[in-house]
């Protein structure tokens, strides 16, 4: 057909990730460079993922994007950076059968249309930006035939949203903070793949699907500016915990894994409370869930379940196997019977990774 008719598309899917050693605080806001390493597990894409299609055509006259069917501006610096960094690395794309050839230099003037869907509520403390930016960058890289490895791609996704870099890999992932001023070594590394620890079951208790009040970006900025605790956390606590957590994951040592994950979640929220003005991400229901798990773990003498909370009130509960997950569900439903005021609104149950 004529030159203006063709469209080339690529589609990708990225799950969200749940940090068990938390990222909180930046040393460089523009490049999104963190003040400490972090570790997460990538969920399976069934319940919590972004799916993105990127298309290019000479018939497109500017870059445009739709999120969950609604057009959103791409003018923000984070989107622009991701687009710019991927375009810089674009390569020739050709399809002989269709008589199509996009030369390397063509990408500078071609425009893209991007459509992305989340299969879970946006900005409810369920890390939608992590899946979203990981998927955007991955899909654009696929469309433009970018040859860099996933680690390099993750450092571009990082510039969209810090936690996004960890969603480029499945399984257990470490975001290494790096040393370089340009951020080139601040990227994600896979610690263990999806097949490493398949017994784990993740249950997300949705306490509220409302949009959070303090965005992570401004929250962590205020913490870095005003908290005295954050320095101790970043310089002393996290480096020691990273080593222990990597070891717990390597050995599939659930007791150590759970203790470290719960402690790190609690310290992250303590640091939020130490911020001026204080940031409250958890609510009474979150606290009741912590109590329930702590009492259960204490009564058994060893951790049965791990909890972790991000920048919102929803509980992410990790159990070592299906049997314990079923017992956990029983306990949750007993404490939070359906259709009451303080209810959990729903549960998302998933295996870790696919
Ligand atoms: C994490 N969170 O490690 C931590 C724990 C929330 C609590 O990463 O400013 O949305 O885009 O880099 O990545 C949320 O922060 O913030 C986050 P930006 P992001 O998962």
State which of 192, 213, 247 marks the end of a domain.
192
Contact 36, 238 (CB under 8 A): yes
State which of 171, 192, 213 marks the end of a domain.
192
Band of pLDDT at residue 122, cut at 50, 70 and 90: low
267-275 average pLDDT score:
98
Q: Is 129 in the pocket of ligand 1 (CB under 6 A)?
A: yes
Ligand 1 centroid to Cα of residue 334, in Å, is 32
- 17 and 93 together in one domain: yes
Give the DSSP letter string of 149-173: -HHHHHHHHTTT-GGGGGGGSSSEE
Residue percentage of the chain with pLDDT more than 90: 83
29-42 average pLDDT score:
97
The span from the CA of 282 to the CA of 118, in Å, is 23
- 16 and 102 together in one domain: yes
Q: Which atom of ligand 1 is nearest to the CA of 175?
A: 3
Could you give the 3-state DSSP secondary structure of residue 53? strand
Counting the structural domains of the chain, the total is 2
The span from the CA of 258 to the CA of 256, in Å, is 5
pLDDT reported for residue 115: 98
Q: Is 311 in the pocket of ligand 1 (CB under 6 A)?
A: yes
Q: Is 216 in the pocket of ligand 1 (CB under 6 A)?
A: yes
pLDDT higher than 90, residue 97: no
Q: Whose CA is nearest to atom 4 of ligand 1?
A: 23
Reported as a single tens digit per residue, the pLDDT across 305-351 is: 999 999 989 999 999 999 999 999 999 999 988 766 555 556 655 54
Cα atoms in the Cβ-side hemisphere of radius 13 Å centred on 163: 28
Q: Which of 124, 161, 211, 312 to mutate to test the pocket of ligand 1 (most atoms within 8 A of CB)?
A: 161
Helices (H), the chain: 77-88, 128-143, 150-157, 216-226, 229-232, 238-250, 254-273, 284-300, 322-335
Q: Is 63 in the pocket of ligand 1 (CB under 6 A)?
A: no
What are 73's two structure tokens?
């501006």
The span from the CA of 229 to the CA of 32, in Å, is 21
The span from the CA of 351 to the CA of 245, in Å, is 20
Q: Is 32 in the pocket of ligand 1 (CB under 6 A)?
A: yes
pLDDT higher than 50, residue 123: no
pLDDT reported for residue 59: 95
Band of pLDDT at residue 109, cut at 50, 70 and 90: very high
Ligand 1 centroid to Cα of residue 23, in Å, is 6
Q: Whose CA is nearest to atom 14 of ligand 1?
A: 216
Q: Whose CA is nearest to atom 11 of ligand 1?
A: 161
pLDDT reported for residue 55: 98
- 129 and 149 together in one domain: yes
The span from the CA of 202 to the CA of 170, in Å, is 14
Provide, for the chain, the percentages of residues in helix, strand and coil under a 3-state DSSP scheme, each rounded to the nearest 5: 35, 25, 40
- 208 and 321 together in one domain: yes
- 126 and 94 together in one domain: yes
pLDDT reported for residue 217: 94
Q: What is the CATH number of the domain that holds 331?
A: 3.30.70.890
Q: Which atom of ligand 1 is nearest to the CA of 129?
A: 10
Ligand 1 centroid to Cα of residue 162, in Å, is 6
Beta-strand pair 49-57/111-118: antiparallel
Of residues 354 and 112, more confidence is placed in 112
pLDDT higher than 60, residue 2: no
**CA of residue 342 relative to chain centroid, distance:** 27
- 58 and 186 together in one domain: yes
Give the domain range for residue 56: 8-192
SS (H, E, C) 88-102: HCCCCEEECCCCEEE
pLDDT reported for residue 45: 84
- Report yes or no on 3 lying in a domain: no
- ipTM above 0.90? yes
Q: What is the CATH number of the domain that holds 56?
A: 3.30.230.10
Ligand 1 centroid to Cα of residue 92, in Å, is 34
């Amino acid at each position: 057909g004529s030159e203006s008719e063709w469209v080339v598309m690529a589609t990708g899917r990225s799950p969200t990730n749940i940090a068990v050693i938390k990222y909180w605080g930046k040393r460089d806001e523009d490049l999104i460079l963190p003040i400490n390493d972090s570790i997460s597990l990538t969920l399976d894409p069934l319940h919590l993922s972004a799916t993105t299609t990127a298309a290019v055509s000479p018939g497109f006259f500017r870059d445009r994007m739709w999120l969950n069917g609604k057009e959103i501006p791409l003018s923000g610096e984070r989107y622009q950076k991701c687009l710019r960094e991927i375009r810089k690395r674009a390569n020739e794309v050709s399809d002989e059968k269709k008589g199509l050839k996009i030369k390397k230099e063509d990408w500078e003037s071609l425009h893209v249309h991007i459509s992305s869907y989340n299969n879970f509520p946006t900005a409810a403390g369920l890390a939608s930006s992590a899946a979203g930016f990981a998927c955007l960058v991955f899909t654009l890289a696929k469309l433009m035939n970018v040859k860099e490895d996933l680690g390099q791609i993750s450092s571009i996704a990082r510039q969209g949203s810090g936690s996004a870099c960890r969603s480029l890999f499945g399984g257990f992932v470490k975001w290494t903070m790096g040393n370089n001023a340009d951020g080139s070594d601040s990227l994600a590394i896979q610690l263990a793949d999806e097949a490493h620890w398949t017994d784990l079951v993740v249950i997300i208790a949705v306490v509220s699907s409302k949009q959070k009040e303090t965005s992570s970006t401004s929250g962590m900025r205020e913490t870095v500016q005003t908290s005295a605790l954050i320095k101790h956390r970043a310089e002393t606590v996290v480096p020691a915990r990273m080593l222990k957590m990597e070891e717990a994951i390597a050995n599939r040592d659930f007791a150590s894994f759970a203790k470290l994950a719960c402690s790190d979640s609690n310290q992250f929220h303590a640091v939020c409370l130490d911020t001026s003005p204080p940031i409250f991400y958890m609510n009474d229901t979150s606290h009741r869930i912590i109590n329930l798990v702590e009492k259960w773990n204490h009564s058994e003498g060893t951790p049965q379940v791990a909890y972790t909370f991000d920048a919102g009130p929803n509980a992410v509960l990790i159990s070592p196997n299906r049997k314990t997950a079923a017992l956990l569900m029983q306990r949750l439903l007993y404490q939070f019977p359906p259709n009451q005021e303080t209810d959990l609104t729903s549960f998302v149950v998933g295996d870790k990774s696919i």
